[in-house]
Every structure is written in C-alpha cells, then in structure tokens.
Structure 1
Amino acid sequence: MDILFVADSLESFKIYKDTTFAMMREAQRRGHRIIACEPRHLVWQRGGVVQAAVRRITLTGDAKAWFTETADTVAIKDFDAVVMRKDPPFDSEFFYATHLLEQAEREGAQVFNKPRALRDHPEKLAILEFPQFIGPTLVTRDADAVRAFHAEHRDIILKPLDGMGGMGIFRVKDDGLNLGSIIETLNKDGAQTIMVQKFLPAIKDGDKRVLVIGGKPVPYCLARIPQGGEVRGNLAAGGKGVAQPISASDRAIAEALGPILAARGLLLVGLDVIGDSLTEINVTSPTCFQEIADQTGFDVAAMFIDALEVAQSEASRTR
C-alpha cells in the first residue's frame, strides 16, 4: 500500500518514542510505501481534487538522519490509505484540515481516523456519551455552578476543554484555596466553557492510557504516574510511564466503547482511565505505542498496521 501520514513536520519527531514513527517503521517492514505531509500542504481548487505536496520517505535505521526523501505532489484519493496523525491542539487549522480530508473522502480517499469522527469526538467532551463509566463531572462556564460542585465534592479538578499534555489543569482541595481566581483564569469571566471533575485519589497509581485498535483493546496500558507532588500524570508534565496489563475494569470499558467508536470510523482510540473511571477519549493522535512495546514486548504498531490493512481492504471492497 501507499500510506500517507498527515502529521507534524518530520523534523519534529522524537523517533525513540514517537507513535507515528512506530507506525511508519512497521509499515515499511511489511513492504508498504510511506509518504508524509503536514496539514498545511493540503490544497483544493474548484475543478480539481484535494492534493498535497508530499515527501516520499524511506526509513534508514539511523537515529539522526532517520529518513531519506523525494518530493512529489499527489491527489489524496490516489493513496491506498491516509492516516491522520496531526498532534493536538484541535484548533481551527486542525478543523479545516478535517474538512479538506472529508472532501478527499468524497473523491475516493480512505482516511483513518475518519475526519468527521475526529470532529464529532472532542477529547474531553466525548465522555459525556458514556456517563456510566465516568466519575462526577460538570461542564459549564458558570462560576456559581463550579462553586456548588466544589461544595458538594470538596476536592476537584478543573481543566480547559482545549488543553493537552496536562496544560491548564488545577486541583482545588477542601479549603477552596484560590478557587475564584482559578475559575476566572479558566472560564475567562464566563466566556469559556470548562470541565470540572471530582478528584480521583487513584491517580497516585497512574492515569492509564488504554489503547483500542479496530474496536479491540490492546492488552497492556501505560500508567502515567505523577511525580514530585504533581497531580498530573501526563508524560509531558513529568509523569512516569509504567506499562502494565489492563485491568478487568479497563477491559470492560474498552470492550463497551470499542465497537461503537470503531463503527464511527475511529480505528485508533486512546482511553484515559483513573482507577475505574473514564476521564477522556483521545482520538486525534493517541500515543504510547513505543513505551508499551519497549516495556512489555507487545508490538502495538503491528496490531495497528494489521487493523489498518483490514480496514483499507474492507473499505476498498465497498467503494
């Protein structure tokens, strides 16, 4: 297959841990051809189709000069599969890229994860559909509602809806210290909606990333454990990643959500679970493939390329 990866610039990759790189490496190992572009390279003009200036790459196995390339301009529909791997934030440009990719789908492209599904599942708000798996949660821009939630639960987490990597997350304990200023900072004096959740003490054991590929759970997760008094387990915030077998409750959540999300065109999903509670559904660019593989030997990238090959084949038959 010719596989186009729509991602951040290749020069920004940290290949020792990058999940998109792991996908590329496994794809090349199987004989698939790897092509890359950034969302900014997508172009459409009336009378034509969505195209992109792309880089046809070959992985070298070298840690520094890790690829060679040739330049090309190609219609998106001419690739066998398009893997959307642009990292968050889900900003306006990401939104516009999904529309261009959806136009490419109308022209015959096969895109994973589906652009419409990316738009329909904002990573923090997607959990609202599955209240049976989440802890006490409030979504609001009203300061009084946040104060009432704190009065009920006494120990809470506040976070912006567009944050990533643990950015903008605050904990307010029973004393309510700085609650007012934190609300003002996050909700911009009522102009911006935020999420508030009851603090889950199980965070001490890690914020678990449970990967779901083709509707099926990966048997190992990565528990991202807060360090040095931090409340955030995110690796970007200094959390320690410890791979471990998924628990019975992790599996129950993944098996309940997996087939639903896969049917909507979400080939790869990253569920964030603290204790037994689902906290986020990550769909834009879920990670942790290499950390899990390095610590357990389970080849997550191989499971993903297996699923991609099946999904591409099934989509081709129904076109």
Structure 2
Amino acid sequence: MNLLFVADPLETFKTYKDSTFAMMREAAARGHAIWACGPQDLRWQRGAPVTAAARAIRLTGHTDDPHDWFTVLSEEPLALRDAGAVIMRKDPPFDSEYFYATHLLGQAEREGARVFNRPQALRDHPEKLAILEFPEFIAPTLVARDEAAIRAFHAEHRDIILKPLDGMGGMGIFRVGADGLNLGSIIETLNRGGAQTVMVQKYLPEIVKGDKRVLVIGGQAVPYALARIPQGSEIRGNLAVGGKGVAQPLSARDRAIAEALGPVLAARGLLLVGLDVIGDCLTEINVTSPTCFQEITQQSGFDVAKMFVDALERALQ
C-alpha cells in the first residue's frame, strides 16, 4: 500500500538514528510504497480533497551517506484519502503551523484518510500537560503563570525544575536549588511577566540514572526503555543536548505506568506514544514524533520498527 509520511525534509534525516527512517525501512522491506511530504505541502480547496505535493521515494540502502539514502521516483499530487495510511511525523515545536496541519489532516480523515497519530489526539495531548490526567504517576507539579505561586512551590519543595510548555529537546529547562539563586530572573524569562504559563516540578535526583523513554505502540509497551543519562554538569538527559542513551529492560514501575496509560491512549487514536519517566515518576507524554527506535534496537536487539509496522498494519485491517 502507499504510506505517506508527513515529516521534516528528508535531506535533514540522520539515518543512523532517525526513527521515521527506521519506520520507512521496515515498511519498504514489506513491499509498501513510501511517499513523503512536509506539512507545508498539504493543501485543501473547496470541491477537492486534502492533497499533498508528495514525493514517491525508494530507499537506496546507503544508510552511511545522509545525502544518498533515497531516490525520488516521482513528484505528484496525492490525495490523502488515496494513501493506505498517513503517518504524521513532523517534529515539534507544536506551533501554529503544526496546529493548522492537524486541522488539514482532520479534514483528510473526514474524507476517508487513515491518519496516525490521529490529529484530534495530537491536539488533545500537549506533551507537557497531558500528564495532568494521570496525577497518581507524576511528581509534585505546578502549572501556573503567577510568580507568587511558583515561589510558594519552591518554598515547599526547595529543589525544583522549571520549563516552558512549548519546549523540546530539553530547551529552556532550569533547575533552582534550595538557595533560590536566580529564581526571580528565571521566572521572568519563562513566564514573560505573567503572560506565559510555566510548568514547575519537584527535582527528581533519579535523573542521574537517566530520563527513560518508554515507547508504547498500539497500547503495548516496548520491553526496553532508553535511559537518557545526563553527562558532566548537565541536568538534562535529552539526546539533543548530549545525553547518553542506554537501553535497559523496563522496570516494574515503568511497565505499570505503560500498562495503565497504553490502552487509554491507544483508544484515543495514539498508535505511538513516548512516555518519559524519571525514577518512578511520569514527566511527559510525547505524541508528536516519539523517537529512540534505533538506539533501543541497536543495543537490545528488539526490533522496534517491526513492532510499529505490525501495529500499523493491524490498525488498517
């Protein structure tokens, strides 16, 4: 079948670690035709279906060359309802253009397209705020604009993490210890004088053992997590800021969180979810373009891309 991937430019893929590439490679090995476009290529006009200016591509197998891993077979308009599946894999930020793209994808769904993850579910699960639905699994957390509320939270918990709600890859994350050093300046930077909402969480010292990415596919947990371990004096484990990724079997707590959330989120149209867990606490629910497929597969031998395409094919039956 034709699989359309809505993603960042193919020319920017780092094929040695890119999860979307791993999905494409597995799907192509099964005989599926691979198409690609970006959100900017989606269009709708009255009297016509949502269409993408798409490229049909063939994978060359030259994964050691980031400029030669695919060839373009054709470039032509593709109605999304005519694709076997549309896989939304555009990386954050979840900005206004991403939001508009989900509405175009939602229109394509109404026309008969099968979109994963579902556009409505993408909008309903902002990656920082989605944890609020599951308070039994999270650390002490505050979501607020108000400086006084943030200062009171710090006074109670003494060692805290502050982060913007629209950040990605560890961007804009600050730690403030018991001395409160620079707390006022950090609040001003993040809340912009009370104009922007901030998330504040109790600092979890277990971060030194890694910020674990637990992948849930079709409601089922991948049996290995990738612990992203901060390096040097860094408090962030994100791979984008130099964290070291170490695959490890799920702990009993990891599995309990995944088993509680997985079926709920899958029923809402989230075929692929990345749960972030520090110690025993859920810290984020990633739904836009969860990663770590290749790191887990390379280190554990468990084929994450195979599990994903298996789940995709089942969802299309």
Asked if these proteins are the same fold (TM beyond 0.5), I'd say yes
Cα distance in 2 between the residues matched to 1:240 and 1:312: 36
Cα distance in 2 between the residues matched to 1:59 and 1:4: 14
Q: Aligned ranges for residues 1-319 of structure 1 at < 5 Å?
A: 1-62=1-62, 63-64=64-65, 65-69=68-72, 70-313=74-317
Cα distance in 2 between the residues matched to 1:174 and 1:126: 28
- The alignment of Structure 1 onto Structure 2 pairs a total of residues equal to 313
CA deviation string 1:149-205 (max 9, x = no partner): 000000000000000000000000000000000000000000000000000000000
Amino acid in structure 2 at the alignment position of 1:158: L
1:312 CA displacement: 1.1
1:72 CA displacement: 1.3
CA deviation string 1:63-110 (max 9, x = no partner): 321111121111110001000000000000000000000000000000
Q: Percent identity?
A: 77
Cα distance in 2 between the residues matched to 1:149 and 1:34: 49
Amino acid in structure 2 at the alignment position of 1:26: E
Instruction: State the TM-score, normalizing by the size of structure 2.
Output: 0.98
Amino acid in structure 2 at the alignment position of 1:293: T
* 2:315 alignment partner, SS class: helix
Cα distance in 2 between the residues matched to 1:200 and 1:26: 37
Amino acid in structure 1 at the alignment position of 2:45: Q
1:118 CA displacement: 0.2
Cα distance in 2 between the residues matched to 1:183 and 1:227: 26
Cα distance in 2 between the residues matched to 1:227 and 1:8: 28
Cα distance in 1 between the residues matched to 2:70 and 2:160: 46
Instruction: State the TM-score, normalizing by the size of structure 1.
Output: 0.98
Unaligned stretches of 5+ in structure 1?
A: 314-319
Cα distance in 2 between the residues matched to 1:67 and 1:258: 34
Cα distance in 1 between the residues matched to 2:36 and 2:228: 29
Amino acid in structure 1 at the alignment position of 2:120: R
1:237 CA displacement: 1.0
Cα distance in 2 between the residues matched to 1:234 and 1:206: 9
CA deviation string 1:241-275 (max 9, x = no partner): 00000100000000000000000000000000000
Cα distance in 2 between the residues matched to 1:255 and 1:40: 36
Dislocated runs of 4+, deviation >3 Å: none
1:221 CA displacement: 0.4
Deviates more, 1:54-63 or 1:267-276: 54-63
CA deviation string 1:208-239 (max 9, x = no partner): 00000000000000000000111100000110
Superposed CA RMSD in Å reads 0.4
* 1:294 alignment partner, SS class: helix
Cα distance in 1 between the residues matched to 2:113 and 2:173: 38
